[in-house]
A and B are shown apart, each in its own frame.
Chain A
């Protein structure tokens, strides 16, 4: 019972490089989310996907793109990494769907990204 799995756990990028953070959940959840957490800060929503086939911007979407590949997987892409994107990235999922709006969010273990 893996829950939410994120890969990689750590990554160092050079400015201008691109990369994709992967997230997969095995709980048959409808809604998935990407957050960033800077040191000493809260969780800021980057993008979310209410259901398969839909994505919406959160508070801080600039510099990121997402893909809801299927119901299980939701990836986050940095096209041209900048030092300001150094952060810990968390993926989360909730049951969502009809009648499932008010349910617990499950988080992955996070990806620590450093852009130099």
Chain B
């Protein structure tokens, strides 16, 4: 099965600075790479995803970059704001339908005003 690791486990940044979270995975067949954000008391929600035929994707202040050779992908948040404070999870997935959905251990991001 997929072995997923996230680093760092906690990240504290000053408002306006950038934050980067890295996710490494073990299954070279993985071809879908999403990032989820979990706010306090809620379930995780997808914020951005990328597929294996694309190296980078941006959506306003967030971006995801993929290095399939090295088997890792990263979440980049620029110009951080207090509402970016949350726990972020990666969940790389092998494409075949029905495979397990395994999440990384999570990264707690705190944006200090």
Interface residues, chain A, CB within 8 Å of chain B? 4, 30-31, 33, 35, 41-43, 45, 48, 50-51, 54, 56, 58-59, 90, 92, 94, 96-105, 107-110
Which 7 pairs from chain A and chain B are nearest by CB? A50-B98, A107-B43, A102-B32, A101-B97, A42-B105, A43-B103, A42-B106
With A99-B97, A101-B95, A101-B97 in contact, do A108 and B32 touch (Cβ < 8 Å)?
no
Interface residues, chain B, CB within 8 Å of chain A? 31-32, 34, 36, 41-46, 49, 51, 89, 91, 93-106
Q: Of the candidates B51, B97, B106, which one forms a contact with A31 in the assembled complex, judged by CB atoms under 8 Å apart?
A: B97
Instruction: Give Cα A58 to B41, complex, Å.
Output: 24
Tell me how far the C-beta of B29 lies from the nearest C-beta in chain A, rounded to whole angstroms.
11
Tell me how far the C-beta of B1 lies from the nearest C-beta in chain A, rounded to whole angstroms.
8
Residues of B within 8 A of A58 (CB): 100
In the complex, the answer to whether A104 meets B95 with C-beta atoms within 8 Å is no
In the complex, the answer to whether A101 meets B93 with C-beta atoms within 8 Å is yes
- Across the two chains, which residue of chain B brings its CB closest to A54? B98
Residues of A within 8 A of B96 (CB): 101
Residues of A within 8 A of B94 (CB): 101
- Across the two chains, which residue of chain B brings its CB closest to A33? B101
- Across the two chains, which residue of chain B brings its CB closest to A58? B100
In the complex, the answer to whether B97 meets A90 with C-beta atoms within 8 Å is no
Q: Of the candidates B36, B100, B105, which one forms a contact with A41 in the assembled complex, judged by CB atoms under 8 Å apart?
A: B105
26 inter-chain pairs at a CB distance below 8 angstroms, sorted by A residue, are: A4-B43, A41-B106, A42-B104, A43-B103, A45-B100, A45-B101, A48-B100, A50-B98, A90-B43, A90-B44, A92-B43, A94-B101, A96-B97, A96-B98, A97-B97, A98-B97, A101-B96, A101-B98, A102-B31, A104-B34, A104-B46, A104-B49, A105-B46, A105-B91, A107-B44, A110-B43
Instruction: Give Cα A99 to B32, complex, Å.
Output: 13
Tell me how far the C-beta of A57 lies from the nearest C-beta in chain B, rounded to whole angstroms.
10
